[in-house]
Amino acid sequence: MAKRRDRVSEAVIRRLPKYYRYITELKNNGVQRVSSNELGQKMGLTASQIRQDFNCFGGFGQQGYGYNVPELHGELKKIIGLDRQYNMVVIGAGNLGQALANYSGFEKEGFYIKALFDINPRLVGISIRGIDVLDIDSLKSYVGKNHIDIGVICTPKEQAQEIAELLVDCGIKNIWNFAPVDVVLPDDVVVENVHLSDSLYILCYRTGEES
């Protein structure tokens, strides 16, 4: 099953993590087989939506059988790219940078934070769960010597653009940006923004809907 990223819509890509989460749970519960109807009911999607989504990747169900859960799990893992290891550096070793470094769960999925970088001399030299905080000035030479796939921005928003450009200048083409600002980068750089507040605003809006 090939990754057909060029032809896959953003909406389908956004649903992939949810598919993976549900299928992982089924697999962990020992379920061998699931129909698109059953999966749809669990996930709040229609069976035809699920079939259409999976068809973007060539489809992997069998009519009258449904999906083989362990196989589907393996395929989704490959499609998302979770079948390999990713090395990351975190820029900004404050509250959020340290929280990310303290979370061991990413490693179980193949995401390794190799180092944190900061500008604050009081943070440079410490280590978080064994991960060193290095001087931001050493980022370029560090990335030159260590294979890094993903740069994580955890600086204040005022520094985010400059840090994003620095990461790209170091050869890093994948950026996970937590700063509440849209960084502008060349088209060949992949940027994924995480804004917890957006999710909170939606919760807030829905709370308002109920009252």
What is the nearest approach in angstroms of ligand NAI to the Cβ of residue 180?
A: 5
Of the listed pieces 23-31, 73-81, 106-114, 157-165, which binds ligand NAI according to CB under 6 A?
Answer: 157-165
Of the listed pieces 15-23, 57-65, 112-120, 202-210, which binds ligand NAI according to CB under 6 A?
Answer: 112-120
Does residue 179 touch ligand NAI according to CB under 6 A? Answer: yes
How far apart are the C-alpha atoms of 137 and 153, rounded to whole Å? 15
**Under 8 Å between Cβ of 164 and 175:** yes
Does residue 184 touch ligand NAI according to CB under 6 A? Answer: no
SS3 17: helix
HSE-CB at 162 with a 13 A cutoff on CA atoms is 7
Angle at 120 between CA 114 and CA 121, to 5 degrees: 95
For ligand NAI, the binding residue among 81, 125, 156, 171 (CB under 6 A) is 156
What is the nearest approach in angstroms of ligand NAI to the Cβ of residue 81?
A: 22
* Cα–Cα separations (whole angstroms), residue 168 to 75, 158, 204: 31, 17, 36
Residues written for the chain:
211
| Element holding 153 (H helix, E strand) | strand 150-153
Which lies closer to ligand NAI via its Cβ, residue 83 or residue 169? 169
Of the listed pieces 1-9, 34-42, 64-72, 190-198, which binds ligand NAI according to CB under 6 A?
Answer: 190-198
Of the listed pieces 1-9, 17-25, 39-47, 116-124, which binds ligand NAI according to CB under 6 A?
Answer: 116-124
**Under 8 Å between Cβ of 73 and 62:** no
Does residue 151 touch ligand NAI according to CB under 6 A? Answer: no
Q: Applying CB under 6 A, which residues contact ligand NAI?
A: 91-97, 117-120, 123, 136, 154-157, 159, 163, 178-180, 194-197
